[in-house]
Structure 1
Amino acid sequence: MIATAKSISYGMAKAEYDENKVINGVKVASETARQNVYGDNCREIVEEMTDVQRIRSPVRNPFLDIVVTLSEEDCEKITAPNQSEWLVKLFMHDLMTEQMGLSEDDYAGMQWIAYQHEHTDNSDSLRHWHILVNRTLLDGKLVSDSWIGKKAAATANKISREYGLTDAAVRSRENREDVFQAACFVLGNMRLYDFNRYLEGLNALGYRTRLALNSKGEVQGYYITAQSGREYKASAVDRRLTIGRLAVLHAGLHKGMKAAAARSPGRAFSMPAPNVPTVNVENMLRVFNADAVISYSTPPPPNDRRRRGKRWEDMSDDEKRLATSGMSM
């Protein structure tokens, strides 16, 4: 289980997204749990929260946006609606009382609502919850948003350890290793480096990519989605995957394969493929117009073992006849 959190200003827009999420024409959202809100729809609920916020002076980001995501393995353990409700309530209680420092009474005066999404745009098996929280408590106190992202992640890690769910730190490391191996596999099968072809190869291999643009529309970086469905900024996976360093990594990978082949004559060396279906590798090779993955090898050394026995000119006629029949002298 992993969790992210941040403070936001756009509570209404976020609530409408959470309540009405549609993927491929099918609504995937449903309410999981709520506390201290009573409206029949997201608009009424946000209006309730906004009324409470008027108790105190306005703040820049009056809402918390929290997302809790299960791994594919965890989804098999949390199946019933009451299990989802229990997990969300446990997460919210532990986050607010243990990480944020609220008392039990303060937490009892907090407003929040959670919606379950059955899957994501990138994966049809990752169940997750969007939780919209009012930072203003019913008595007018304001909940701090300091380090809220790290505190949400810490809460997810704690619950994962206690209840046998996938540890977020372990899964994140596995995801980054998976993405880096896929990127190296694509680069290792490019004769000449080209960033656009590299992105095409990743997409064909099954790893979705997305460019990061600045306000002027200029490319500042890119994102890669792991097989688990979690999206990572390339620089967060490995600094060598930044746009400015990819060409160097490409050259280094090919140099490494050539060096390995030189050290072990007679063996072929290529980049190891990530754990993806064979058809994905075939799709990537089609993008590169290749029949097989690139491999490097050097011929085995010649057999320089000297024959033991007499030289031809030192043999008698009988010995020569035996030698030509296959016997050694």
Structure 2
Amino acid sequence: MIGMGKSISHTGASMGYGWDEEKEAEVIYREHLAGDNPKEITQEFKIIQTQNQRCKKNTMSFVLSPTIKDGQDLKDKQLTEITQRFVQEMKLQERQAIAFVHRDKSHLHIHLYVNRIGFDGKAYKDNFIGKRSQQAAEKVAQQMGLTTVREVQQERLNEIQSIRQEIKQVNEKVLTEMKPKDFDQYIKYMKQRNVEVIPSINKSKRLQGFRFEYKGQNLKGSEVHRSMSMARIAERIGFDKTASQKIVKDNRLELLGKTVGISPNIAATIAKRVIKMTVKKTIGLGMEI
């Protein structure tokens, strides 16, 4: 479960958003309030807030978001309990507060509004409120057996690691078996295996590298594996000798129908590759003789 929090000054507008019938909003928690609509609730907040004119951001807005899977099973009673526990963890008891659940999207979430000004006229200290909100949500999730942010992050990390490995395997297979003669062929062969290779071109129309899109993930080559930087890929592509000489001379190459610039380092890498292949071919011919 994710928890987010901040102090706001636009109480009425936020309250109206929270209590939006079009979003199928339902009140699941309220403390020290009697109003039946956003305008009345806002007015009740303001009565207390007049005791502290110095505090401008005098309402606190929180969003509690269980995972999609957890949210599908949560009933109103459990949503109320989540809110109550969160309020306790944040030490916000005995303050005016109201919470709504939104079910307008597949991702159920709770909007909680708390008067920052207490009945004694003092303002709640909101330093590091975002971090504290997440920590409180983490504790509530643990208490109620819900998925925590750390667990979600670990799942995503495991998923990305698996995807990185698959992209790397496809890359190796393309370079080893298909032996592309230029970047265009490399991009084409990768796409045939469901990996979208996206050239990163800056404002100066210079090719800076490749991004790889696969199974909903978009990663830089260096994020996939160190062997998948543009320079490392260039080292293994069998560029035509004539074309490579032009690339080295102009520091440019043709890519997907457009002329793009490349760094001198990449041009040098391509040149070394061609020289190495030429030497290897020459040695091979000599041995045959």
1:47 and 2:64 aligned: no
Unaligned runs of 5+ in 1: 98-106, 196-200, 208-223, 225-240, 263-287, 289-329
In structure 2, relative to structure 1, the CA distance for the partners of 1:256 and 1:77 (3 Å cut) is farther
Alignment of 1:20 with 2:27, yes or no, is no
More helix by share: 2
Q: Deviations over 1:210-261 (max 9, x none)?
A: xxxxxxxxxxxxxx9xxxxxxxxxxxxxxxx7xxxx58769963559859x9
- Choose the corresponding residue for 1:29, options 2, 25, 39: 25
Distance 1:159 1:57, change over 3 A: same
When residues 194 and 64 of structure 1 are mapped into structure 2, their CA distance, relative to the original with a 3 A threshold, is: same
Moved segments of 4+, more than 2 Å? 172-189, 191-195, 204-207, 246-259
SS in structure 2 of the partner of residue 3 of structure 1? strand
Structure 1 residues 252, 44: closer, same or farther in 2, change over 3 A?
farther
Q: CA deviation at 1:173?
A: 4.3
User: Which TM-score applies when normalising by structure 2?
Assistant: 0.58
Give the SS at the match of 1:83.
helix
1:128 aligns with 2:109: yes
8 Å Cα contact 1:21-1:117 kept in structure 2? no
Which amino acid is the alignment partner of residue 30 of structure 2?
R
2:221, 2:228 within 8 Å by CA — same for their partners in 1?
no
- Candidates 33, 56, 76, aligned match of 1:81: 76
Name the CA distance, whole Å, in 2 between partners of 1:114 and 1:83.
13
Q: Which residue of 2 aligns with 1:148?
A: 129
1:9 maps to 2:9: yes
Match of 1:90 among 68, 85, 88: 85
Which residue is 1:101 aligned to?
A: none
Q: 1:60 aligns with which of 50, 56, 66?
A: 56
> Aligned to 2:7, what secondary structure does the other structure show?
strand
Instruction: Please give the alpha-carbon distance, in whole angstroms, between the structure 1 residues aligned to 2:11 and 2:53.
Output: 17
When the two chains are superposed, the root-mean-square deviation of aligned CA atoms in Å is 3.9
SS of the residue corresponding to residue 31 of structure 1 reads strand
Percent identity among equivalent residues?
23
Amino acid aligned to 1:10: H
Q: Distance in 2 between matches of 1:3 and 1:95?
A: 11
3-state secondary structure, aligned to 2:197? coil
Q: Which amino acid aligns with 1:166?
A: T
Which stretch of the first structure deviates more once superposed, 61-70 or 49-58? 49-58
2:134 counterpart SS class:
helix
Give the whole-Å Cα distance in 1 for the aligned partners of 2:116 and 2:198.
Answer: 54
Query: Cα gap change, 1:31/1:182 in structure 2, threshold over 3 Å: closer, same or farther?
Result: farther
Structure 1 contact 19–30 (Cα < 8 Å) conserved: yes
1:89-122 deviation per Cα after TM superposition (whole angstroms, max 9, x unaligned): 121122216xxxxxxxxx22x01110101154xx
Shift in Å, 1:28: 2.6
Residue 39 of structure 1 and its aligned partner are, at CA, apart by: 0.7
Match of 2:200 in 1: 193
CA distance, structure 2, for counterparts of residue 76 and residue 172 of structure 1:
20
CA spacing shift, 1:160–1:248, aligned 2, 3 Å: closer
CA contact (8 A) 1:188 1:254 kept: no
**TM-score computed with the length of structure 1 as normaliser:** 0.52
Aligned length: 203
Gaps in structure 2 of 5+ consecutive residues: 168-190, 203-211, 238-255, 257-289
Q: Which amino acid aligns with 1:152?
A: S
User: Aligned partners of 1:178, 1:10: CA distance in 2, in Å?
Assistant: 40
Structure 2 CA distance for aligned equivalents of residues 115 and 190 of structure 1: 44
**2:245 is the alignment partner of 1:253:** no
Task: Answer yes or no: is the 8 Å Cα contact 1:119–1:128 preserved in 2.
Answer: no
The answer (yes or no) to whether the contact 1:6–1:66 under 8 Å persists in 2 is yes
